[in-house]
Structure 1
Amino acid sequence: MDVKFVISILLVIADGFTVRGPSAPLVAPLGSSVVLPCYVDKPLPMQILEVKWRRTDSDADSETDSETVVHLFVDGDSRPEIQSQDYHDRAHFFTDQIQHGNFSLRLDNLRAEDEGKYTCIVYSDPDSGETEVQIKDVERLLVSVSSRSISSYDGEDVTLNCSVDSHITPEHIEEVSWKKTDGDDDILVLLYQNNEALPGSSDEQYRDRVEFFTDEIPKGNFSLRLKSVRTEDKGVYMCQVFAGVLSASATVELEQLGE
């Protein structure tokens, strides 16, 4: 399952220093590494510094919140033994940056269950401050076809529909491939890569007979026009889309060919 996350930041000002995060939301896909920002506006004395990252999610069945320690820095060192097991070996400080006031946390191998509220709390006696980070699930990469099956006559032109959900912009789509998939080996029908169609990549039986609707690509429409349909074209076709670490596909069947 391909899932992405949106990270939003709240800012809290302490008496002696300001705890900051980014001014705009961040986006990270499932399985990637993401940095949860937390930094102060001036270096703090290491000998009286404590930084705690915690996760606090409200329990609908309880009147109290549960707290999970994601990571802790105290006494001049990271304390991985204090971490919750869910974050062990996945949550890391940038230890060489702490002396400069950067307490950001890198969370590796992002999971769907990482969705929730995170708080970075900075203590420097007698002051303290914090910033809150919310990781929320957002729409995954979706690829859809308007019909699961299409009928045609020999010699006609036919359109195999394929569209990508609107939150993925075409410039972030790295590859779209149309393949005939019902035989022993997949046959490449047409390829879109690096913002251009590559008709020379098509298998010989489809060369000069397939094309994208170029004007529709900016709208996320990667439908395929197959010209002069032949009996041997009958079968299942897959539209597969790659965008970063995300991928998704949909299939359509060309059937009931007649003279």
Structure 2
Amino acid sequence: MSHQHKAWRSPCQSHLRSQRVSMIHRGCLISLYLCFQTVTGEFHVKGPNKPLVATLGDEAKLYCFLLPPQNVKNMKICWTRSLPSQVVHLYEDGRDKPEEAMDEYFRRTVLVTDYMDKGVVILRIFNVQHSDGGQYRCAFQHGSFYGDAVIELKVAGNGPHVSP
């Protein structure tokens, strides 16, 4: 029995025990770091590579997403046109803020929240007009982290036909 006791205190086993703890410690730190990065760290905003097309008078669905994927329910999400002041739709503090939208988009947009836990947002624009064609900016902000992507919408179809 004393032999086992001496072996337990041998420098080799003591070194192995400290290595195992050290590896576990490093693994925990790396996991914690990655978890922290995924929840609150940097992200990139992506959108479709090609312009999206909507038919005049119908509905447009614009989308963008975060990489790495993460829950965006507590982020500020803002869809704008050319200038940051040209708000199409604003989601902040866990709710939509339709009063912040430009008059021409007031009550014509809805932010689909079904996929927010996966980092995906979809902006629905109802009763698409020719003036809706062009570029939109989808921007996410979480604390000091910010990212955005530009999405282009093309409107297909003719307006009302006027006879000469």
- State if a TM-score over 0.5 links the two structures: yes
| Partner residue in 2 for 1:164 | 66
Classify the secondary structure of the residue corresponding to 2:105.
coil
**CA deviation after TM superposition for structure 1 residue 211, in Å:** 0.5
Question: Does the CA-based 8 Å contact 2:112-2:124 persist in structure 1?
Answer: yes
Q: Distance in 2 between matches of 1:171 and 1:186?
A: 22
**CA deviation after TM superposition for structure 1 residue 213, in Å:** 0.9
Alignment of 1:177-256 (within 5 A): 177-181=78-82, 186-256=85-155
* Letter of the structure 1 residue corresponding to residue 79 of structure 2: W
| 141-150 or 161-170: bigger deviation | 161-170
Classify the secondary structure of the residue corresponding to 2:115.
helix
More strand by share: 1
**CA deviation after TM superposition for structure 1 residue 185, in Å:** 6.9
Question: Does the CA-based 8 Å contact 1:148-1:251 persist in structure 2?
Answer: no
Classify the secondary structure of the residue corresponding to 1:155.
coil
Aligned residue among 69, 72, 77 for 1:176: 77
Identity in percent = 21
Question: Does the CA-based 8 Å contact 1:162-1:239 persist in structure 2?
Answer: yes
Q: Distance in 1 between matches of 2:45 and 2:127?
A: 26
Classify the secondary structure of the residue corresponding to 2:117.
helix
**TM-score, normalised on structure 1?**
0.44
Are the structure 2 counterparts of residues 193 and 216 from structure 1 closer, same or farther at C-alpha, using a change threshold of 3 Å? Answer: same
Alignment of 1:93-104 (within 5 A): none
**TM-score, normalised on structure 2?**
0.66
**CA deviation after TM superposition for structure 1 residue 186, in Å:** 4.3
Are the structure 2 counterparts of residues 256 and 155 from structure 1 closer, same or farther at C-alpha, using a change threshold of 3 Å? Answer: closer
Q: Distance in 1 between matches of 2:131 and 2:106?
A: 14
Question: Does the CA-based 8 Å contact 1:200-1:207 persist in structure 2?
Answer: yes
Question: Does the CA-based 8 Å contact 2:73-2:116 persist in structure 1?
Answer: no
Classify the secondary structure of the residue corresponding to 1:205.
helix
1:106-130: per-residue Cα shift (whole Å, max 9, x none)? xxxxxxxxxxxxxxxxxxxxxxxxx
Q: CA RMSD in A?
A: 2.7
1:154-186: per-residue Cα shift (whole Å, max 9, x none)? 10101011112344322552x1100011xx774
Q: Which segments of 5 or more consecutive residues in structure 1 lack a partner in the other structure?
A: 1-11, 13-19, 30-138
Question: Does the CA-based 8 Å contact 1:166-1:219 persist in structure 2?
Answer: no
Q: Distance in 2 between matches of 1:160 and 1:171?
A: 18
Total equivalences in the alignment: 129
| Partner residue in 1 for 2:8 | none
Q: Distance in 2 between matches of 1:214 and 1:167?
A: 15
**CA deviation after TM superposition for structure 1 residue 192, in Å:** 0.9
